[in-house]
Amino acid sequence: MSESLFDTHCHLDFEVFDADRNEVLERAWQAGVRHILIPGTQQGDIASKALVHDTQIQLHRAAGLHPYFIQHHQPAHLAKVEEQLKQDQHLLVGEIGLDRTCPEWDKQCELFEQQVQLAARYRRPLILHHRKSQSDLLGILTSYLDELPSCKGVLHAFSGSAQQAQDWITKGFKLGVGGTITYARAKKTRSAIAQAPLSGLVLETDAPDMPLAGGQGQRNEPCCVADVFQALQQLRNESPAELAHALWENSHQLTGFLAADANGDSATY
């Protein structure tokens, strides 16, 4: 694998990787993965940074409260997220979002907006979770777009139409392209990704979840981002080199922000 790859969504801190995390990272390195972004899902997830000591892969992190655990989230947990953002200017905010299959919708919406407010206050990109909720997300996000960094974040596990894809990209978000595009039945999403501006795409695995076609029931790994890249090549007209370069640059726009300085100014690179 000659391309350098960036997995922008991998739950490397989940306990399913505890027994062989370094081996997983070695396989990822051999597949060309050079950077991995690890989202947070519950309070205290950032403490997991001590889990990995021996890897050449650059690890990036985010702090957030995921709607899957909405029944467990408390106000003190939100305060913990803010504390983490204050302590580490490189943290993104996520994985946060809205999920119509999860309970306590009103609490989800309130908690989501509170975390978006934190992202706006500290000028951090967002990692967004959605399930039957893209319009709901945008309904809340619209009021805060001007306060977020120029790269607003990434819509994780994008699925939807070409128009939805264009709308998110126009608003400053990247689309997370993962194992979904390896399934022939995902015609609408595959078509949307084929048509979307290349500047709005990033690669991801969502490991250990979202296995690729043929891997159902198996643990997903960050090394599989190389297979997602190959699947994306089949959908796009760019050369592999052009595609790889753009995805690399897009991913670094997501993670390469500078936090607001004491005067409230900010910059991206």
The model carries a pTM of: 0.94
What residue spans of the chain are helical by DSSP H? 21-30, 75-87, 105-122, 134-141, 162-170, 187-195, 225-235, 240-255
Looking up residue 162, the CATH number of its domain turns out to be 3.20.20.140
**Is 167 labeled as ligand-binding?**
no
**Is 95 labeled as ligand-binding?**
yes
> What is residue 85's predicted lDDT score, i.e. its pLDDT?
96
> What is residue 3's predicted lDDT score, i.e. its pLDDT?
83
Q: What would the two tokens of residue 100 be?
A: 């119509």
Q: Which domain holds residue 159?
A: 5-268
Percent of the chain with pLDDT over 70: 91
CA distances from 148 to 136, 171, 260 (A): 18, 11, 10
Tally of domains within the chain: 1
Average pLDDT for residues 124-147, to the nearest whole number?
98
Average pLDDT for residues 73-80, to the nearest whole number?
96
- 265 pLDDT tier (thresholds 50, 70, 90): very low
**Is 156 labeled as ligand-binding?**
yes
The whole-chain average pLDDT of the chain stands at 92
Q: Contacts by 249-254 with C-beta closer than 8 Å and gap 24+?
A: 250/174, 250/198, 250/199, 250/200, 250/201, 250/202, 251/6, 251/8, 251/35, 251/37, 251/202, 251/203, 252/6, 253/151, 253/174, 254/8, 254/37, 254/92, 254/125, 254/151, 254/153, 254/154, 254/174, 254/202
Radius of gyration (Cα) for the chain, nearest Å? 17
**Is 90 labeled as ligand-binding?**
no
The answer, yes or no, to whether residue 268 has pLDDT greater than 70, is no
**Is 77 labeled as ligand-binding?**
no
- 43 pLDDT tier (thresholds 50, 70, 90): confident
**Is 11 labeled as ligand-binding?**
yes
